[in-house]
């Protein structure tokens, strides 16, 4: 698996414009709109482009960030850690990480990309984000249908997928990176999955138990 870090202002613009109208896992993303631009400004593509160019792209901040990622992210180690955790290997040849200056960072398994949030400080958190996003790719490839066969809808499967990222924390701690915190609405399930991981040390088993727990308690319907 090859991971490519890419700056693309049009992708960034598209993410801003999509994000301010989205709400997911209890988070309304427009609340992260910075003071320097209004919601109307975001919807005006030429105005948003100028804002991004003036504040991020022409200053060299994004290209410097990409350089830092290329020097810092040990992609082979990340891949090895994730494949060991989930018990399966990546089949994608190349995955692209597009830099975004907005706080929301979606991904697309079919198009093989995810967004990575630009940070001027606490950049080590981006390595945690890389683990998080790439874990989603493995989940979709090997475990999505497993969840569907027990009767879950897409919304519930997304919750299982997001909750499972708590299992990254023992590895992240060992590697010296910040923990993965997940979404507030998922904390009960995340803690359950972590306890089951300590018991079974097998991702598929932990997911099976989590599915039964969600069904029994009629969660995330």
Question: pTM of the prediction?
Answer: 0.94
For residue 180, give the nearest of 115, 134, 212, 111 by alpha carbon: 134
**Hey, where are the domains in the chain?**
1-135, 143-221
pLDDT number for residue 28: 86
Residue 35, both tokens:
């003071």
CA distances from 172 to 99, 127, 149, 189, 209 (A): 22, 9, 31, 20, 23
Tens-place pLDDT, residues 40-96 = 999 999 999 999 999 999 999 999 999 999 999 999 999 999 999 999 999 878 999
Tens-place pLDDT, residues 137-167 = 999 999 999 899 989 999 899 999 999 999 9
What confidence tier does 220 reach under pLDDT thresholds 50, 70, 90?
A: confident
Tens-place pLDDT, residues 189-202 = 999 999 999 999 99
Res 179 pLDDT > 90:
yes
What confidence tier does 221 reach under pLDDT thresholds 50, 70, 90?
A: low
Residue 115, both tokens:
């967004």
Cα–Cα distance measured from residue 18 to residue 45, given in angstroms and rounded to the nearest whole number: 12
Is 159 in contact with 220 (CB distance < 8 Å)?
yes
């Amino acid at each position: 698996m090859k991971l490519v870090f890419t700056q693309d202002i049009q992708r960034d613009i598209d993410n801003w414009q999509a994000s301010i109208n989205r709400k997911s896992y209890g988070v309304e993303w427009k609340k992260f709109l910075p003071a320097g631009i209004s919601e109307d400004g975001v919807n005006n593509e030429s105005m948003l482009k100028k804002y991004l160019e003036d504040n991020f792209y022409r200053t060299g901040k994004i290209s410097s960030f990409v350089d830092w990622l290329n020097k810092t992210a040990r992609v082979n180690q990340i891949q090895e850690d994730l494949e060991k955790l989930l018990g399966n290997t990546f089949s994608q040849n190349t995955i692209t990480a597009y830099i975004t200056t907005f706080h929301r960072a979606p991904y697309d398994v079919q198009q093989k990309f995810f967004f990575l949030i630009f940070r001027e400080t606490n950049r080590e958190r981006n390595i945690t984000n890389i683990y998080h996003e790439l874990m989603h790719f493995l989940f979709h490839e090997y475990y999505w249908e497993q969840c569907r066969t027990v009767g879950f809808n897409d919304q519930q499967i997304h919750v299982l997928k997001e909750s499972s990222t708590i299992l990254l924390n023992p590895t992240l701690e060992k590697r010296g990176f910040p923990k993965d915190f997940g979404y507030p609405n998922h904390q009960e399930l995340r803690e359950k999955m972590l306890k089951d991981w300590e018991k079974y040390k097998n991702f598929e088993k932990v997911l099976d138990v989590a599915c039964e727990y969600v069904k029994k308690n009629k969660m995330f319907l």
